[in-house]
Amino acid sequence: MKTYRIKPLVLTRMEIDQSILTYRHNFGIKVKSPVIMWYIEGADQNILVDTGADAKTATSYRGFPAEEVMTFEKALASIGLTPKKIDIVIQTHLHWDHCANTHKCQNAKVIIQEEELKFALAPHPVSGLSYKKELYLNLNFRVVQGSYEVTPGIEVVLAPGHSPGSQAVVVNTEKGKAVITGFCCLPENFNPPPAIKVYSPIIPLGTHTDLMASYESALRIKGMADILLCQHDPSIISGKSIP
């Protein structure tokens, strides 16, 4: 099967409380959470996973202290692309920090889970601030249900809980399956300290619409990945190809 590499491109770093990502743990610990979009190298088409958001949006819309790493356009230019050259955007979910630039990709097909789009168009008030509808209205959606092969060696899998239709992205690489989690997490969610491992192999996601579903999704994704790529991992180095 064809293999690929993944290039993370960090647009913004937000300062957030770590408990936003690790359920009922790490209160008061601040973390510089990167806002990442991922470019899949080696495909016949130009494929992005998410499109990120800028620091201004993070601060003005959500109140998070944030610093800009690079603009969406500069990030694409660093790999020789422009927004118009993007063919496919795999939208892991429609929270504002994952889709703020998707509308700039005017020629792209946007792959989204049916349950995610349905919820995003009429979000529950509890999740209302996570969704900013003007960012994703009128996109060229390719709506899918469950597992879907984007192209040989690249697949999306439904991983609900963080949001109703979160989807992970499984990419075949020369070192096995690399999985972009889709839901918002840190490596610590999957590798908790010994005191927590006594009763649970993971720390549940800090933000969710269904806690139990998010736990099951995280456990399943952990089990299928040879290389696990967490959506807000501070150790991700922008532009460094994986693996």
Domains within the chain, CATH numbers bracketed: 5-229 (3.60.15.10)
Residue 65 pLDDT more than 90?
Answer: yes
Chain-wide mean pLDDT for the chain?
96
Residue 128 pLDDT:
86
Residue 51 pLDDT more than 90?
Answer: yes
Angle made by CA atoms 197, 156, 161, in degrees to the nearest 5:
45
Residue 241 pLDDT:
97
Helical ranges in 92-175 per DSSP H: 96-99, 114-121
Residue 177 pLDDT more than 90?
Answer: yes
Which tokens sit at 27?
A: 């209160």
36 — pLDDT class (breaks 50, 70, 90): very high
pLDDT tens figures, 188-217 = 999 999 999 999 999 999 999 999 999 999
Q: What is the mean pLDDT of residues 19-33?
A: 95
Q: What is the mean pLDDT of residues 153-181?
A: 98
Residue 1 pLDDT:
81
Residue 25 pLDDT:
93
Residue 47 pLDDT more than 90?
Answer: yes
Strand 66-68 versus strand 88-90 pairing type: unpaired
How far is the C-alpha of 155 from the C-alpha of 139, rounded, in Å?
21
Task: List Cα–Cα distances, 21 to 77, 82, 243, in angstroms.
Answer: 31, 32, 25
Q: What is the mean pLDDT of residues 144-172?
A: 98
Which tokens sit at 103?
A: 């509308």
Nearest to 132 by CA among 94, 188, 83: 94
Percent of the chain with pLDDT over 70: 100
Residue 82 pLDDT:
98
Residue 49 pLDDT:
98
